[in-house]
Amino acid sequence: MQKILINGRPLAYRTWGEPNNPLLLFLHGFPEYSGAWSDLAAQLKDHYFCVAPDQRGYGESWRPSDVSDYLTSKLVADIAGLIEHIGRPFAVVGHDWGASVAYALAITRPDLVDRLIIMNGVHPIPFQRELLKGGDQTKSSQYIHFLRAEGSEGVLAKNNFAKLIDLFSAKMDLSWMTPEVRDDYVAAWRDEAGLGAMINWYRASPLIVAKPDEPILPKREFDPSKLRITMPHLLIWGVNDTALLPVSYEGLEDLCEDLTVTKIEGADHWLHHQKPAEIADIMRDWLATAIG
């Protein structure tokens, strides 16, 4: 692990491959950490320099306790600082919450993002639309209410994070999490306070989640012209995901200038653990042909 200071606060990151190779930046989601990319990076390190930070609140990086420290603008500033430290733009890969940071980075700092690859993550416009509808995605996202509630980290941290593992694996394949991998995750989660820092991403998010079958009219409309993805964009989707459903990216093509969607059979939300070789092949082929 390496560490740099972003505005005086430590950001830890790990790397694979040679620094002179083309750059790939990997942004993890909840409840993962930089080591979640090890299997995929191992497939790519011979031809790419792979960089994966512990994002704010995770692993060995700074974990402030104030919810306001997890606003998207601050999360994006961390990653922009890391890219500027390394000194050249990246192809950025985001999964889950890491996809949210990747989208925001691509929108607000397109100068730092050569290509954008999202794996089972969502753009804010179609996702917020579905969360307000009261339909299937709303139902699948009800766990957000639990996570945002005061004290949820205490419940999930009990018995060596047993409840968090249950949430992690709900209706999805967790066979990739061997006892050794689980030990690494528990070490990264650290303790109840560490888990609280991770959950603060949900508490700081402005996303509104309706109740099932009780749609909410949006209080404001996003301006699509301000949230466009201008660089080549690849969406890789594990079709068995039960947390994020395909409706959550419907209409994404209207927000992108150059979108490619590839679906992965036999994989769910944790596709980068389940199909690293297949995903690496898809990424290599697309990166070789995408024109910026």
* pLDDT, tens digit, 9 for 90 and up, residues 4-50: 999 899 999 999 999 999 999 999 999 999 999 999 999 999 999 99
Determine phi and psi for 106, rounding to 5 degrees: -65, -35
Q: What is the dihedral of CA 71, 123, 247, 221, to 10 degrees?
A: 80
Residue partners of 81: CB distance under 8 A and separation at least 6: 4, 6, 7, 11
Instruction: Tell me how far CA of residue 59 lies from CA of 38, 101, 228, 231, in angstroms.
Output: 15, 17, 31, 30
Q: Sorting pLDDT into bands at 50, 70 and 90, what band is 291?
A: low
The verdict on pTM exceeding 0.85 is: yes
Q: pLDDT (tens digit, 9 = 90+) per residue, 45-90?
A: 999 999 999 999 999 999 999 999 999 999 999 999 999 999 999 9
Superfamily of domain 2-289: Alpha/Beta hydrolase fold, catalytic domain (3.40.50.1820)
